[in-house]
Amino acid sequence: MIVAEQKSLDEIKAMLKDAKKVLAVGCGTCVTVCFAGGRNEVGVLSSSLRMAREVDGDSLTVDEVTVQRQCETEYIDGLADDVESYDAVLSLGCGVGVQSLAERFPAMRIFPALNTKFMGYPSEHGVWEERCQGCGNCILHLTGGICPVSRCSKQLFNGPCGGSQAGICEVDPDTSCAWQLIWERLGEQGLIEQLMEVEPPKDWSTSRDGGHRRIVRDDLRLPDGEEG
């Protein structure tokens, strides 16, 4: 999932300082699962913003709505009838959701309530860890299903850096050394020999380093003029 966390109330309050009427829009998918921008978080944040404005001797109207997915036009089209009656939209979606709203409603100011962090998974209750950086050329079949791009602090591809101590990354004492994990996993699978293969340098042009990325599927595209 895409993992995000809420900005501080002070920061959100400052962004909305000129607004009198705001629509807070939650998203029912990734950010609901990571407790950052679902219906509950929309409710709590909206109340906090109203109260904060009252404490300042003013008032702020915050209406609340949560759509199933902010990152797809069909789910945000339903906001079109009302959106113009607001001074601003506060998105509790990830960065993609915020930009989808901005693209769909270009005249409206859209403010991000969240900081989008990474693609990850919950390793325990209340803890999310990065697992993928979307490098565009997955090598998990070579590394025992453990991603050195997102989990090795130095993004090494040819084994540990030498600073690993007792299985812990030298960069962060709360992080396991990815290469220790890879070694152990492949050892358990009887596949250590796989690590002895010399791989060509990774092609980073498929990653963010190659510029803005897009996927075009001609088999799914509609003829010019047709809408899905």
In whole angstroms, how close is the CB of 210 to ligand SF4 at the nearest point?
A: 13
Cα–Cα dist 60/100, whole Å? 25
Closest to 140 (Cα-Cα) out of 188, 214, 202, 205: 202
The helices-and-strands tally (H runs, E runs) of the chain is 9, 7
List 105, 133, 184, 204, residue binding ligand SF4 (CB under 6 A): 133
User: Nearest CA to 16 among 75, 81, 61?
Assistant: 61
* Residue 168 DSSP one-character state: B
Cα atoms in the 13 Å half-sphere on the side-chain side of 185: 15
- String of contacts with ligand SF4 for each residue 165-204, x by CB under 6 A: ----xxx-----xxx-------------------------
Q: Which stretch binds ligand SF4 (CB under 6 A): 23-31, 68-76, 154-162, 209-217?
A: 154-162
**3 state DSSP class of 189:** coil
Q: How many residues bind ligand SF4 (CB under 6 A)?
A: 24
Region binding ligand SF4 by CB under 6 A among candidate stretches 69-77, 94-102, 133-141, 208-216 = 133-141
DSSP string, 141-162: TTTTT--HHHHSTT--SSS--S
Whole-number minimum distance, CB 204 to ligand SF4, in Å? 10
Task: Name the one range near ligand SF4 by CB under 6 A: 2-10, 22-30, 72-80, 130-138.
Answer: 130-138
Residue 145 lies near ligand SF4 (rule: CB under 6 A) = no
Q: How far is the CB of 227 from ligand SF4 (least distance, A)?
A: 32
Please pick, from the candidates 140, 158, 208, 221, the single residue that binds ligand SF4 as defined by CB under 6 A.
140
Q: Which of 92, 65, 95, 94 is nearest to 81 (CA)?
A: 65
Closest CA to 24 of 6, 36, 39, 14: 39
Among 1, 65, 156, 195, contact with ligand SF4 (rule: CB under 6 A): 156
CB of 142 to ligand SF4, least distance (A): 9
State the residues that interact with ligand SF4 by CB under 6 A: 132-135, 138-140, 147, 149-150, 152-154, 156, 160-161, 163-164, 169-171, 177-179
